[in-house]
Amino acid sequence: MTAASRAIGALGAFMAAAALAGDREGCCDAAPAAPAAPSWEFTATAYPTVVRGGGDYTSAVVVAQRAALHLEARVNYESVGARSAFVGWTFGGGEEITWELTPLLGGAWGTTKAFVPGLEASVGWRKFDLYVEAEYVRPREESSRYLYAWSELGYRPVEWLRFGLAAQRTHAYGAERDILRGPFAQLSWRRITLGGFWFNPGSKEQVFVASIGAAF
């Protein structure tokens, strides 16, 4: 082998070693990709309500969720003409039995002026689920304070259909019964959910509540 051949061979070996070292350096020193920031999720639901022997109205709830942070605004919820807003934090877990809990703090103004702590909770097992939504409305007048609650026991045989039993206690409209109860059904298509709740069916105090919701 000539001197020129030996020089070319040595130069090639040096370049290969340098390339390998560069690859190792890039592998070891590369910064890990930053985790994607959680995105906002929004839902808006309107509840047209038909009250036998009373005034019909529509309430609405808008929710903004980012990771565990929960923001919520309501209209005609505590009473007709009331407005309310809440901030909360969501906890959850479970595998076969899943659960989610969101404590809320907020306030109402308009026809109802009050400090309003609340809670939203759900439990799921296979095709069954239980949802409870409650708040304690605390205006300055003690005689006007009350506990509002809405609960659903649902069954979902297929992804787009959910039905079951619902109950509520509310001061949004006058009723002699303390607890109203009845069946409900919901249909989902992509990001749209339509539902109907029939409280006190067949009685003089029956109430029908429709629900029209969208997620985006």
Tens of pLDDT, residue by residue over 176-202, are 667 899 999 999 999 999 999 999 998
DSSP letter (8 states) at residue 138: B
Residue 3: per-residue pLDDT: 46
Using the predicted structure, report yes or no on whether residue 11 has a pLDDT greater than 60: no
Q: How many CB atoms lie within 10 A of CB 190?
A: 8
Residue 55: per-residue pLDDT: 85
pLDDT tens digits for 14-60?
455 545 545 544 455 555 666 677 899 999 999 999 998 878 999 99
**Least confident among 42-56, 73-87, 100-114, 133-147:** 133-147
Query: CA-CA distances (angstroms) from residue 5 to 2, 12, 13, 18, 19?
Result: 5, 11, 12, 20, 21
Residue 205: per-residue pLDDT: 86
- Please, which residues have CB within 8 angstroms of residue 187's CB and are 6 or more apart in sequence? 160, 161, 193, 194, 195
The owner of tokens 């339509």 is: 194
Q: Is 175 helix (H, G, I), strand (E, B) or coil?
A: coil
Compute the distance between CA of residue 116 and CA of residue 47 in angstroms, rounded to an integer.
Answer: 21
Closest CA to 117 of 131, 133, 132, 130: 133
Mean pLDDT across 105-120: 96
Percent of the chain at pLDDT above 90? 69
pLDDT tens digits for 120-131?
999 999 999 999
Residue 30: per-residue pLDDT: 55
User: 140: which 2 tokens?
Assistant: 């300055």
Strands (E), the chain: 40-51, 57-66, 69-75, 82-89, 91-93, 97-110, 114-125, 128-137, 146-158, 161-169, 180-189, 192-199, 207-215
Which phi and psi (to 5°) does residue 190 adopt? 55, -115
pLDDT mean across residues, the chain:
87
